[in-house]
């Protein structure tokens, strides 16, 4: 069994033990799914994801959870090209990749319009705290910020360390007074 399959199996076990799951998980791209900024790369390069990302994406998809992208990349053509090269285009029900000054609120309005999934049934992973806070408080969506520890481990990818992941997630959630207990419980079940 390869690394992707091992990660996928581990993620499936964690998801299987969860009573409450989001209907849609939305990911940022730069420094959330892959370890670089698209605008600093050439469209001709072959990109790579964080090591555990593919297995986790596949597990979420197999569990029936819809996936989407919300990225403020100023080079959407490069981001789209990279997703195509990684054979990931087909797993996302929505891809909103465009430059914006709105902390991704426009992105999420479009994702909501496309999918019909209510904001409070979405889970959002991003590496920028400003996006998480703006979206969580304005929309009722749960946002989780990725906290890098200097390696390839990333919040949401640290399936082997649930306590540290939960502790970091709750540290961020505790700052967002607009989150309901039910939403906090959903995050606790997923992480």
Check residue 10 and give its pLDDT: 86
Q: How confident is the model at residue 163 (pLDDT cuts 50, 70, 90)?
A: very low
Q: How confident is the model at residue 11 (pLDDT cuts 50, 70, 90)?
A: confident
Token pair, residue 110, equals 């479009």
How distant, in Å, are the alpha carbons of 67, 164, 185, 188 from that of 171? 25, 10, 14, 12
The model carries a pTM of 0.77
**Helices 53-62, 3-16: inter-axial angle, 10-degree rounding:** 50
* The total number of residues written for the chain in this structure: 191
CA angle 63, 116, 159 (to 5 degrees): 30
Q: Tell me the pLDDT tens digit for each residue of 117-157.
A: 988 788 888 887 777 777 666 666 665 655 444 333 443 43
Q: Are 24 and 115 in contact (CB under 8 A)?
A: yes
Catalytic center residues:
28, 30
Q: Which of 21-25, 160-164, 172-176 has the lowest mean pLDDT?
A: 160-164
Domain 3-190 in this protein, CATH class? alpha beta
- Between CA 142 and CA 117 the distance in angstroms is 13
């Amino acid at each position: 069994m390869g690394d992707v399959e091992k990660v996928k199996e581990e993620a499936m076990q964690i998801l299987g033990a969860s009573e409450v799951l989001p209907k849609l998980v939305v990911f940022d791209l730069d420094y959330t799914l892959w370890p670089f900024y698209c605008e600093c790369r050439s469209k001709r390069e072959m990109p790579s994801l964080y090591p555990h990302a593919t297995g986790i994406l596949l597990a979420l998809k197999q569990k029936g959870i819809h996936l989407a992208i919300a990225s403020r990349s100023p080079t959407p053509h490069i981001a789209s090209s990279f997703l195509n090269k990684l054979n990931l285009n087909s797993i996302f029900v929505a891809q909103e990749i465009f430059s914006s000054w709105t902390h991704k609120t426009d992105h999420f309005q479009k994702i909501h319009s496309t999918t019909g999934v209510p904001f409070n049934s979405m889970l959002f992973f991003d590496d920028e705290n400003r996006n998480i806070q703006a979206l969580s408080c304005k929309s009722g969506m749960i946002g989780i910020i990725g906290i890098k520890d200097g390696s390839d481990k990333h919040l949401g990818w640290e399936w082997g360390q649930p306590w540290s992941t939960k502790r970091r997630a709750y540290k961020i959630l505790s700052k967002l007074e607009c989150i309901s207990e039910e939403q906090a419980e959903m995050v606790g079940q997923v992480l």
